[in-house]
């Protein structure tokens, strides 16, 4: 379904993976996007982008401080980097055959597997299936910027859903978040604050 | 069960009130309960404390409040009823067959003995539920006393049950006690299962009256039940609000017993020597002659006699002192009693030889199934009320006891049940008087002798506890005083919960019904005493008549 390749897998564990990509590819996924890693046997792992990291190398450091560097040199260094951009993804579910599960994948993807950005239709299918079970993977990761990630994800996913039916999905998603977080006032208020900024500008 | 049930509200809190009647459905059983408290709650107190409306967009704030803030009801479970499996299913069929075959008890409402499970759904009671618990308004003997406060479903009182035990109508002044009593009396007189004797201290019930607050005309019971109600005026030539009573009550001196005077101890401010003096009087003149003889004695009369050539003043032979000296009674005590009893001697309705034995006439009327309203006319003092009501009640009690004993031994001529309506009951049933008056005996044990009381009072705390605890049905309007509230609810389950409800009733037209005569406590908007009451009451009768003519028509007459 999804055809926009964004990179290849660098390392993975059950709860997430890191993708390496070229600078040109890095422009397509954004924070909170849903991506998938097709595997053999009509099996695919889904994840949410939660971090995009651009590391430096020795040459970049030199160029950053050098004077009179030509534009072509800078452009060359940006595009043909020695160190790839790293996109960190949190695993949120998988698809086996036509069925979507909001569970952690049974086994992680392998190195150098290709990673694709999900099209709106696939986003709608994944997020609309079941009852938001994948939220718990996001909320479990304490080091994640939960509020921002949920806000970005819900905003993007809502756009995919709005095309089909207006306002219903986001409302249900927010209700689920409140239910999951109602005993944690601080986190809930952070998430709702971010959601307020993202959805109701 | 000790702590009541908590119910999470899913509708706006404004739609439910304290005192609401709710039904809890749980499988084969239905529980009936009373809302006794509403509490605001939050999953975390901070959600309630913080004004999130200003921080979040309105849509989000609304969703947040919907899930984190809530209202809880506290429900006092009262009754439960087995409903059986879903009608139309095979299990239901089997269930009802088992009942028909007598293998299983027919479902009836029971006092609550268990609790419904978590998350059972709770709904407000509909007219069907109220009819199930409090009786069908269409059924004979069920009398619509008011309407539920929230939805206005008619609520019945089972008058048959109501008259089986003594009952009370309470409420602070101006809460509609006398209107409610009129409605109750109208219902009882119409149902006609018991005779009613009303001690009408303020001449309110017999003839038409004008309401003190609205100025509207209030129809008297005599007006509507011409044939069944007798209005008796106290004293000859009594005139009750410009109307002549059916007959007058005069009391023969011979009917007044020493205990009638002893009962007036507080009213007449009598001394401790009174019982001794009275006993001596009875010894001298007999139980029926003492009052007359004592009233004829002259107090302080002296005569001069010559003794051994000297003039000497001694008490006259017809004086109190002469009698006291002869009978070894303290002269001061006898003279004091005589002077204090002047108030009783002066009563115009106390006659040496009344034209008729009107007390006997009242008893006869009551036995014949008529209702008697004794209007005190111009004799409105506490002395009149205490003396006459106690004397009459004592005679009635004797008559009913005698008839009941005859009925028990011979098995025929069952006495007609009698309800004695006592206004300002605390004057007769307070702690000091209760042991002396006939009323407390009636409240305590006369149920067996077919006599019960209907007590109307504004200070229930002044009534003797032993009497209060015997009251079956208690209908109470608003009460402000803690002690009064405590007295009305004495001896009832869940009274702590009901206490607040009683204090928060609307001052007018709202009453709380509690006690043995009602299946469960419930606050009710009492109905107005208006033409509709009469239409419903007397209308029913004409329906019956129509049915009779139809039957006769069918038979070919």
Q: Which of B44, B46, B56 sits opposite A192 (nearest CB)?
A: B56
Evaluate if residue B226 carries a pLDDT over 50: yes
Across the interface, whether the CB atoms of A178 and B52 are under 8 A apart is answered no
Residue B545: band (very low, low, confident or very high) from pLDDT cuts 50, 70, 90: very low
Q: Which residue of A has its CA nearest to B57?
A: A196
Give the residue on A whose Cα is nearest the Cα of B51.
A189
- Each residue's pLDDT tens digit, A155-192: 999 999 988 888 789 889 999 999 998 888 888 888 89
Contacts of B301 (CB under 8 A, 6+ apart): B315, B316, B318, B319
- Best of B8, B43, B49, B51 to disrupt the A interface (most A CBs within 10 Å) is B43
Reported as type and span, the H/E element at residue B71 is strand B69-82
Closest listed residue to residue B361, CA positions, set B389, B390, B387, B399:
B399
Question: Which of B58, B64, B66, B70 to mutate to test binding with chain A, by most A CBs within 10 Å of its CB?
Answer: B64
Strand partners, B35: B75
Hey, are the CB atoms on A178 and B59 less than 8 Å from each other? no
User: In chain A, whose CA is at the least distance from the CA of B48?
Assistant: A185
Which H or E run includes B423?
none
pTM of the predicted structure, to 2 decimals = 0.76
- How confident is the model over B166-184, as a mean pLDDT? 87
Name A101's bridge partners.
Answer: A94
On the CB side of B332, CA atoms within 13 Å amount to 3
Three-state SS string across A136-190, please?
Answer: HHHHHCCCCCHHHHHHHHHHHHHHHHHCCCCCHHHHHHHHHHHHHHCCCHHHHHH
How much is the pLDDT for A25? 64
Q: Which of A190, A188, A127, A184 is nearest to A155 (CA)?
A: A127
B420 DSSP β-pair partners = B197, B453
**A13 pLDDT higher than 80:** yes
A interface test, pick of B42, B50, B59, B70 with most A CB neighbours within 10 Å? B59
Instruction: Search chain B and give the residue with CA nearest A198.
Output: B57
Task: Identify the CA nearest to B431 among candidates B492, B499, B487.
Answer: B487
* Residue contact A183–B59, C-beta within 8 A: no
* pLDDT score recorded for residue B384: 87
The chain B residue lying nearest A178, using CA atoms, is: B64
Residue A65 CB coordination number (10 Å): 7
* % of chain B residues with pLDDT over 90: 3
* C-alpha dihedral sign at B55, B60, B61, B64: negative
Q: A187 pairs with which residues across the strands?
A: none
Buried b / exposed e across A135-171, counting CB within 10 Å, b at 16+?
bebbbeeeebebbbbbbbbbbbbbebbeeeeeeebbe
- Nearest Cα residue in chain A from B46: A185
Residue showing tokens 């001596």: B280
Q: Are B429 and B444 in contact (CB under 8 A)?
A: no
Contact across the interface for B57 and A189, Cβ inside 8 Å: no
Contact indicator for B199, B421 with CB cutoff of 8 Å: yes
Q: Find the residue in B nearest to A195 (Cα).
A: B60
Contacts of A192 in chain B (CB under 8 A): 52, 56, 60, 64
Residue B513 backbone phi and psi in degrees, to 5: -105, 125
Residue B17 has pLDDT above 90, yes or no: no
A132-137: average pLDDT: 92
Selected for mutation to probe chain B from A173, A180, A182, A199 (highest B CB count within 10 Å) is A182
| Cα–Cα dist B71/B42, whole Å | 8
For B44, the closest of A171, A175, A183 (CB atoms) is A183
What six digits make up the tokens of A46?
Answer: 């889904």
The per-residue DSSP string of B235-275 comes to STT--BTTB--SEEE-EEGGG--HHHHHTTHHHHT--TTHH
User: What's the longest Cα–Cα distance across chain A?
Assistant: 57
- Which of B44, B47, B67 is closest, CB to CB, to A179? B67
DSSP state of B462: G
Cα dihedral A40→A45→A49→A53 (10° resolution) = -40
> How many CB atoms within 10 Å of residue B15?
10
pLDDT tens digit string along A24-43?
665 678 899 999 999 988 99
In Å, how far are B25, B81, B105, B312 from B90, measured between CA atoms?
Answer: 20, 21, 19, 108
Q: How do residues A99-111 score in pLDDT, each as one tens digit?
A: 999 999 999 999 9
Write down the pLDDT at residue A135: 93
A200 contacts on B by Cβ (under 8 Å): 57, 59-60
Q: Judge: A200–B59 Cβ closer than 8 Å, yes or no.
A: yes
B461 close to B481: Cβ distance less than 8 angstroms:
yes
**Total Cβ atoms within 10 A of residue B241:** 14
Asked if B63 and A183 come within 8 Å (Cβ–Cβ), the reply is no
Cα(A107)–Cα(A109) distance, integer angstroms? 7
Which residues neighbour A32 within 8 Å (Cβ) at sequence distance 6 or greater? A48, A49, A50, A148, A149, A151, A152, A153, A155, A156
- What per-residue confidence (pLDDT) applies to A2? 46
| Matching residue, tokens 């008697």 | B372
Q: Six-digit token pair at A9?
A: 């897998």
What per-residue confidence (pLDDT) applies to B549?
56
Looking at every residue in chain B, the average pLDDT score rounds to 84
A178, B64: Cβ pair inside 8 Å?
Answer: yes
In this prediction, residue A126 has a pLDDT band, given cuts at 50, 70 and 90, of: very high
Q: Closest-CA residue in chain A for B49?
A: A185
B46/A185 CB distance under 8 A: yes
Rounded mean pLDDT, A87-98 = 94
Instruction: Return the residue of B nearest to A173 by Cα.
Output: B63
Q: Which residue from B43, B59, B63 is facing A183, i.e. has the nearest CB?
A: B43
Say yes or no to pLDDT of A19 above 90.
yes
pLDDT at residue A88 greater than cutoff 90: yes
Instruction: Please enumerate residues of B whose Cβ is less than 8 A from a Cβ of A.
Output: 43-44, 46-47, 52, 55-57, 59-60, 63-64, 67-68
Helices and strands: H and E segment counts in chain A: 8, 7
- Position A94 scores a pLDDT of 95
Distance between A90 CA and the closest CA of chain B, angstroms: 27
Phi, psi of B323 (to 5 degrees): -65, -40
Q: Do A193 and B55 touch (CB under 8 A)?
A: yes
Q: Is residue B542 very low, low, confident or very high in pLDDT (cuts 50, 70, 90)?
A: very low
CA–CA min distance B46, chain A (Å): 7
- Fill in the DSSP letter of residue B121: E
CA distances from B382 to A106, B309, B341, B385, B436 (A): 93, 53, 15, 5, 16
Measured in angstroms, the CA of B68 and the nearest CA of chain A are apart by 7
Q: Which of B375, B380, B416, B390 is nearest to B246 (CA)?
A: B375
Which tens digits make up the pLDDT trace of B76-88?
Answer: 888 888 888 888 8
Confidence of residue B130 (pLDDT cuts 50, 70, 90): confident
CA distance B168 to chain A (A): 51
Residue B108 CA to its chain's centroid (Å):
28
Q: What is the pLDDT of residues B481-518, one digit of tens each?
A: 889 998 888 878 777 888 888 888 888 888 888 888 88
Residue of A nearest to B61 (CA): A192
Query: In A, which residues are within 8 Å of B57 by CB distance?
Result: 196, 199-200
> The tokens of B17 are what?
């009130």
Q: Say yes or no to pLDDT of B212 above 70.
A: no
Q: A85: alpha, beta or left, given left = phi > 0 and alpha = psi -120 to 50?
A: beta
Find the helix or strand (DSSP H, E) in which A20 lies: strand A16-21
SS3 call for B215? coil
Instruction: Average the pLDDT over B299-327 and give the result.
Output: 84
Q: What is the pLDDT of chain A when averaged over all its residues?
A: 88
Chain A residues inside the 8 Å CB shell of B64: 178, 188, 192
Q: Any idea where the domains of chain A sit in the sequence?
A: 4-199
B15 pLDDT above the threshold of 50: yes
Q: How many residues does chain A have?
A: 201
String of DSSP letters for B141-156: TEEEEEEETTT--EEE
ipTM above 0.90, yes or no: no
B423-457 per-position pLDDT tens digit: 888 888 888 777 777 777 777 777 788 888 899 99
Tell me if B60 and A192 make a contact (CB, 8 A cut-off). Answer: yes
8 A C-beta contact, residue B177 and residue B509: no
| Whether the predicted pLDDT of B255 surpasses 90 | no
Tell me the mean pLDDT in the region B342-347. 87
Enter the tokens of residue B333: 């005590």
Measured CB to CB, residues of chain A less than 8 Å from chain B are: 171, 174-175, 178-179, 182-183, 185, 188-189, 192-193, 195-196, 199-200
Angle between the N-to-C axes of helices A168-181 and A146-162, in degrees from 0 to 180, rounded to the nearest 10: 160
């Amino acid at each position: 379904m999804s055809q926009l390749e964004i990179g290849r897998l660098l390392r993975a564990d059950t709860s997430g993976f890191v993708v390496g990509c070229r600078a040109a590819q890095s422009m397509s996924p954004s924070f909170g996007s849903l991506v998938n890693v097709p595997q053999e046997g009509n099996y695919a792992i889904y994840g949410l982008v939660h971090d995009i990291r651009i590391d430096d190398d020795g040459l970049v450091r030199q160029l950053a401080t050098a004077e009179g560097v030509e534009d072509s040199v800078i452009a060359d260094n940006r595009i043909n980097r020695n160190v790839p951009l790293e996109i960190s993804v949190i695993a949120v579910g998988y698809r086996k055959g036509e069925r979507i599960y909001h569970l952690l994948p049974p086994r992680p993807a392998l190195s150098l597997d290709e990673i694709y950005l999900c099209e709106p239709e696939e986003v709608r299918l994944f997020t609309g299936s079941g009852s938001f079970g994948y939220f718990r993977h996001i909320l479990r990761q304490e080091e994640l910027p939960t509020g921002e990630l949920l806000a970005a994800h819900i905003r993007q996913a809502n756009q995919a859903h709005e095309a089909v039916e207006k306002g219903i999905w986001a409302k249900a998603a927010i209700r689920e978040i409140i239910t999951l977080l109602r005993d944690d006032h601080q986190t809930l208020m952070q998430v709702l604050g971010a959601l307020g900024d993202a959805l109701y500008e | 069960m000790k702590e009541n049930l908590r119910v999470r509200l899913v509708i706006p809190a404004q739609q439910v009130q304290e005192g609401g009647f709710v039904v809890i459905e749980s499988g084969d059983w239905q529980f009936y309960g009373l809302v006794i408290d509403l509490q605001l709650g939050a999953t975390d107190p901070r959600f309630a404390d913080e004004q999130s409306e200003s921080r979040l967009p309105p849509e989000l704030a609304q969703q947040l409040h919907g899930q984190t803030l809530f209202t809880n009801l506290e429900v006092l479970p009262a009754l439960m009823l087995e409903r059986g499996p879903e009608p139309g299913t095979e299990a239901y069929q089997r269930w009802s067959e088992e009942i028909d075959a007598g293998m299983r008890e027919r479902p009836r409402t029971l006092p609550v003995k268990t609790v419904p499970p978590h998350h059972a759904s709770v709904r407000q009671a509909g007219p069907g539920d109220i009819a199930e618990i409090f009786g069908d308004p269409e059924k004979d003997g069920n009398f619509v006393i008011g309407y539920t406060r929230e939805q206005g479903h008619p609520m019945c009182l089972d008058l048959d049950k109501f008259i089986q035990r003594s009952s009370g109508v309470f409420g602070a002044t101006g809460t509609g006690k006398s209107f409610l009593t009129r409605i109750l009396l109208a219902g009882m007189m119409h149902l006609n299962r018991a005779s009613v004797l009303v001690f009408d201290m303020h001449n309110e019930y017999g003839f038409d009256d004008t309401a003190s607050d609205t100025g509207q005309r209030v129809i008297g019971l005599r007006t509507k039940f011409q044939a069944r109600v007798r209005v008796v005026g106290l004293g000859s030539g009594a005139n009750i609000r410009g109307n002549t009573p059916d007959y007058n009550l005069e009391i023969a001196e011979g009917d007044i017993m020493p205990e009638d005077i002893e009962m007036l101890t507080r009213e007449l401010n009598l001394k401790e020597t009174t019982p001794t003096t009275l006993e001596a009087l009875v010894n001298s003149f007999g139980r029926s002659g003492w009052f007359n003889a004592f009233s004829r004695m002259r107090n302080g009369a002296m005569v001069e006699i010559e003794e051994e050539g000297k003039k000497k003043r001694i008490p006259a032979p017809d004086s109190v002192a002469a009698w006291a000296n002869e009978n070894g009674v303290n002269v001061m005590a006898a003279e004091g009693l005589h002077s204090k009893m002047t108030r009783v001697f002066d009563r115009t309705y106390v006659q040496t030889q009344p034209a008729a034995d009107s007390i006997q006439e009242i008893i006869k009327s009551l036995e014949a199934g008529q209702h008697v309203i004794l209007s005190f006319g111009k004799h409105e003092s506490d002395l009149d009320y205490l003396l006459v009501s106690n004397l009459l009640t004592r005679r009635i009690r004797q008559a009913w006891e005698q008839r009941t004993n005859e009925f028990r031994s011979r098995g025929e001529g069952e006495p007609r049940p009698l309800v004695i309506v006592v206004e300002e009951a605390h004057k007769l049933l307070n702690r000091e008087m209760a042991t002396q008056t006939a009323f407390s005996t009636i409240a305590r044990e006369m149920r067996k002798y077919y006599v019960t009381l209907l007590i109307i009072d504004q200070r229930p705390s002044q009534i003797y506890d032993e009497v209060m605890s015997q009251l079956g049905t208690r209908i109470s309007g608003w009460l402000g005083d803690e002690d009064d509230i405590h007295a009305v609810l004495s001896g009832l389950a869940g009274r702590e919960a009901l206490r607040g409800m009683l204090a928060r009733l609307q001052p007018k037209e709202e009453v709380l019904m509690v006690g043995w005569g009602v299946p469960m406590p419930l606050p009710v908007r009492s109905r107005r005493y208006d033409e509709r009451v009469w239409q419903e009451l007397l209308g029913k009768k004409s329906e019956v008549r129509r049915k009779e003519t139809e039957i006769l028509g069918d038979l070919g007459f």
